[in-house]
Amino acid sequence: MARAPDLSFYAYTPSAAVAAVCCALFGIALIWSTVMTVRKRSWVWTVQLLAILMEVIGYADRIVSANNPTNLNLYAVQFCVIILAPVLMAGAIYVVFGRIVFHVVPAQERTTRLLWIPPRWITPIFVAFDVLSLIVQLIGAVAVSSTKATDENAANKLKIGKDVALAGLTLQIVAFGLFTIIAARFHFTSQRFEARLQSRLENADRGRSVYVKGSSRKINPQWRRLLYAINASCVLILIRSVFRVVEFAEGPTGTVMQQEWFMYVLDTLPIFLVVVSFCLIFPGSYLPYMGFRVPKQPEGARELQSADGSGIALREV
pTM exceeds 0.85 for this model: no
Q: Among candidates 76, 164, 94, 80, which has minimal Cα distance to 130?
A: 94
pLDDT averaged over every residue in the chain = 79
pLDDT band at 150 (very low <50, low <70, confident <90, very high): low
Between 308 and 277, the more confident residue is 277
DSSP 109: G
Q: What percent of the chain has pLDDT over 90?
A: 33
Which pLDDT belongs to residue 147?
66
Could you give the CA distance from residue 85 to residue 271 in angstroms, rounded to a whole number? 9
- With b for 16 or more beta-carbon neighbours within 10 A and e for fewer, the 44-60 pattern comes to bbbbbbebbbbbbbbbb
pLDDT at 295 over 80: no
Q: What is the pLDDT of residues 240-282, one digit of tens each?
A: 999 988 888 887 778 888 899 999 999 999 999 999 999 999 9
pLDDT band at 151 (very low <50, low <70, confident <90, very high): low
pLDDT at 194 over 60: yes
Q: What is the pLDDT of residues 69-123, one digit of tens each?
A: 988 889 889 988 998 899 899 989 988 988 888 777 766 666 677 777 777 777 7
Neighbours of 191 (CB within 10 A): 10
pLDDT at 47 over 90: yes
In the chain, where do the E strands start and end?
201-204, 209-212, 218-219
Which pLDDT belongs to residue 30?
97
Query: In angstroms, how far is CA 270 from the centroid of its own chain?
Result: 11
Q: What percent of the chain has pLDDT over 70?
A: 75
**Residues 125, 115 contacting (CB under 8 angstroms):** no
Could you give the CA distance from residue 140 to residue 271 in angstroms, rounded to a whole number? 21
Contacts of 254 (CB under 8 A, 6+ apart): 246, 247
Mean pLDDT of 195-199: 59
Counts of helices then strands in the chain (DSSP H, E): 11, 3
CA dihedral (100, 119, 104, 174) in degrees, to 10, reads: 40
Structural Rg of the chain based on CA atoms: 22
Which pLDDT belongs to residue 115?
75
Between 152 and 307, the more confident residue is 152
DSSP 44: G
Q: What is the pLDDT of residues 203-243, one digit of tens each?
A: 444 445 444 444 445 666 677 889 999 999 999 999 999 99
